[in-house]
Structure 1
Amino acid sequence: MEHAFGPYMKQLREQQGFSINQLAEAAGISNSQISRIENGVRGVPKPATIRKIADALHVPYTDMMKQAGYIETANTASHQDVPEWATYKDRRDFKRMLEDEDDLMFDGIPLDEEDKKRIKDVLTGLFWEAKQMNKRKKPGEPDPRS
């Protein structure tokens, strides 16, 4: 999936009529970083960078996250989507997060089923990314996301 992200991003940029410099300015990242991503030199960017690019290109963040490989394209997260390194407690926490039946709202407005699914897809990718980062962090080290 990683090799397909650069050409995908380039196609989106060109469809929107942006030059590399225009996208870089709109997204708040360097033009060299855009070029390296598109040419496959840099690989898949972090979710925060993808968010900036998606916002600048006016495309759904979840679509770009799927193309980048952060989100599975299956309708729901299944047992096989769980990373090998995940412990029983990790799986339990993940299941609780996804099965929480409280109404999801944004700005006080309940979300429809499609929006809830998209949010769960994003949360799935971010949950496992955060768990993996926490497992790599040694006790006493500062949080690398800070």
Structure 2
Amino acid sequence: MEKEFGSLLRLLREQKGMSINQLAESAGISNSQISRMENGLRGVPKAPTIRKLAEALNASYQELMIAAGYLEEAANLNIAVAEQSPEWATYKDKRDFKKMLEEDGELMFDGIPLDQEDRQRIKDVLTGLFWEAKQMNKRKKKNNGTPDEK
């Protein structure tokens, strides 16, 4: 997956006539990081980094996400958000929740990356806390006379 993503990144950069340094400056990412991505020496970047690259290249975010191997994961995330959302959640609430899950960094404990099972446990706890906080905010708005968002 790293090679496929890196090859596409290089192709898009060259099609735009950009150097690695120009892309790095435009995306706010180090040139060495971009070089490592293009050469398959770095793992697939996280979604926020891919978004920066897509914007800097004026390229399709979805195309880069497919090359990075996130397509199936993104589809599963949409299903998970829909299944885990309470009935009162608005579209904006669900969007905020999805964004929170997509943008989480690598989870570590004592300097060691957590395995998938532990990451899922943490996400499950965060899911409960997120929806609890959203519901509390909605109650506060209603009690203060602010109309509820639909």
TM-score, scaled to structure 2: 0.54
Distance in 2 of aligned mates of 1:24 and 1:54:
12
Is the Cα contact below 8 Å between 1:3 and 1:43 reproduced in 2? no
How far apart in 2 are the matches of 1:52 and 1:128?
A: 14
Write the deviation string for residues 106-142 of structure 1: whole angstroms up to 9, x where unpaired.
xxxxxxxxxxxxx9xxx59x85786x96942887xxx
Q: Residue type of the partner of 1:45?
A: P
Q: How many percent identity over aligned positions?
A: 48
- Contact 2:27–2:52, Cα closer than 8 Å, also in 1: yes
d(CA) in 1 for partners of 2:42 and 2:65?
Answer: 16
Change (3 A) 1:38 1:50: same
Work out whether residues 6 and 43 of structure 1, in 8 Å CA contact, stay in contact via their aligned partners in 2: no
Mapped pair 1:136 → 2:119:
yes
Which stretches in structure 1 are left out of the alignment for 5+ residues? 83-89, 105-118
Residue 83 (structure 2) pairs with residue 95 (structure 1): yes
1:13 aligns with 2:13: yes
Partner Cα distance (1:27, 1:128) in 2: 19
Moved over 4 A (4+): 126-130, 132-135
**Number of residue pairs matched?**
107
Partner of 2:56: 56
Aligned to 1:111: none
Aligned to 1:30: 30
Separation in structure 1 between the aligned mates of residue 34 and residue 23 of structure 2, nearest angstrom: 8
Distance 2:82 2:121 in 1: 22
Deviations 1:51-70 (A, max 9, x none): 11100000121111111011
- Secondary structure of the residue aligned to 1:12 is helix
Matches of 2:101 and 2:71, distance apart in 1: 11
Q: Closer, same or farther in 2 for the Cα pair 1:24/1:136, shift >3 Å?
A: same
The match for 2:148 is: none
CA contact (8 A) 2:27 2:53 kept: yes
Q: Name the structure where helix makes up a greater proportion of residues.
A: 2
- Distance of 1:58 and 1:128 partners within structure 2: 21
- What is the TM-score normalised by the length of structure 1? 0.55
CA deviation vs aligned residue, 1:91-110 (integer Å, no higher than 9, x gap)? 5x54365xx9x778xxxxxx
Unaligned runs of 5+ in 2: 108-113, 127-150
